[in-house]
């Protein structure tokens, strides 16, 4: 079987993640960095950022999602040292600044949608079949059952009931 293209999500790790077997990805991204994985990646945001940034590849754009300024600086430093081209803000591309509406709950999902749109912009430069309007439609139709989902409609409760599956 020949695989034309794929989206691979890095697990918790960067430097030791299995996705590092891909030599020349179209683009990479690092999203919000927090202390939730400190036992595996480090004890500080800086240490975690260093580990996560090791998905950077020479000559490859790396989109930096919403994150703490110190973590952003560390990711940028590692990306540059590895020869990647860090994209500082998702608004720096036409797709990152486009109107996006997502049904996913939480401000972080808006940040993730912005990062995803910018990532798609860079991927589209290599895959001509990827179009901005398709990305906007996909973001608007995205569903993630159990992740910050309003389940009131299923329970017949008068107040909002939000269910959140968490991975940590």
Mean of pLDDT over the chain: 77
| Domain-embedded: residue 107 | yes
104-146 confidence digits (pLDDT tens): 777 777 788 788 888 888 888 777 777 777 777 777 777 776 6
| Domain-embedded: residue 7 | no
| Domain-embedded: residue 97 | yes
User: pTM of the predicted model, to two decimals?
Assistant: 0.76
Pairing of strands 85-87, 149-150: unpaired
| Domain-embedded: residue 119 | yes
Ranges of residues in the chain with a pLDDT under 70 are 1, 3, 11-12, 37-39, 88-100, 145-168
Domain that holds residue 138: 18-163
| Domain-embedded: residue 28 | yes
Q: What is the CATH number of the domain that holds 45?
A: 3.40.1190.10
Domain count, the chain: 1
Q: Considering only CA atoms, which of 35, 61, 58, 59 is closest in space to residue 46?
A: 35
């Amino acid at each position: 079987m020949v695989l034309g293209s794929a989206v691979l999500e890095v697990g918790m790790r960067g430097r030791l993640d299995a996705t590092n077997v891909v030599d020349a990805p179209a683009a990479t991204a690092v999203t919000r960095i927090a202390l939730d994985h400190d036992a595996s990646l480090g004890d500080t945001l800086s240490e975690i950022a260093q580990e996560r940034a090791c998905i950077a590849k020479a000559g490859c754009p790396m989109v930096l999602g919403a994150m703490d300024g110190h973590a952003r600086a560390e990711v940028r430093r590692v990306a540059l040292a590895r020869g990647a081209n860090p994209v500082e803000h998702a608004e720096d591309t036409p797709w990152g600044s486009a109107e996006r509406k997502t049904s996913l709950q939480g401000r972080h999902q808006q940040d993730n949608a912005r990062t995803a749109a910018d990532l798609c912009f860079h991927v589209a430069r290599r895959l001509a079949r990827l179009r901005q309007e398709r990305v906007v439609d996909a973001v608007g139709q995205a569903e993630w059952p159990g992740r910050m989902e309003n389940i009131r409609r299923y329970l017949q409760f008068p107040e909002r009931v939000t269910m959140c599956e968490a991975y940590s």
